[in-house]
Amino acid sequence: MYIFSSKLRTLVLGALLLAAAPAARAQGGRPGQRLAQLENAKIAFITTRVALTQDQAQKFWPVYNEFSTRRRELNRNGRLLRREVADGLTDQQIRDNFTQGFAVRQQELNLEKEYFDKFQKIISLRQVAQLFLAERDFTKEVIKRVARGPGAPPLGPE
Cβ neighbours, 10 Å, residue 77 = 17
Query: Is residue 128 in a domain?
Result: yes
153 in a domain, yes or no? no
Q: Is residue 158 part of a domain?
A: no
Q: How does pLDDT run across 63-110, given as a tens digit for each residue?
A: 999 999 999 999 887 777 766 666 778 888 888 888 888 999 999 999
Helix 91-120 × helix 54-83 angle, to 10°: 180
* 3 state DSSP class of 11: helix
For residue 35, give its domain range: 6-148
Question: For the chain, how many structural domains are there in total?
Answer: 1
Residue 36 lies in a domain: yes
For all residues of the chain together, what is the average pLDDT? 80
Domain annotation covers residue 13: yes
DSSP notation for 94-150:
HHHHHHHHHHHHHHHHHHHHHHHHHHHTTS-HHHHHHHHHHHHHHHHHHHHHHHH-T
Instruction: Quote the pTM value.
Output: 0.70
17: amino acid identity, one letter: L
Task: Give a yes or no: residue 21 inside a domain.
Answer: yes
Q: Please check whether residue 76 lies inside any domain of the structure.
A: yes
Average pLDDT over residues 34-63: 94
The CA-based diameter of the chain, rounded to the nearest angstrom, is 55
On whether residue 143 sits in a domain, the answer given is yes
pLDDT band at 57 (very low <50, low <70, confident <90, very high): very high
pLDDT above 90: percentage of residues in the chain = 46
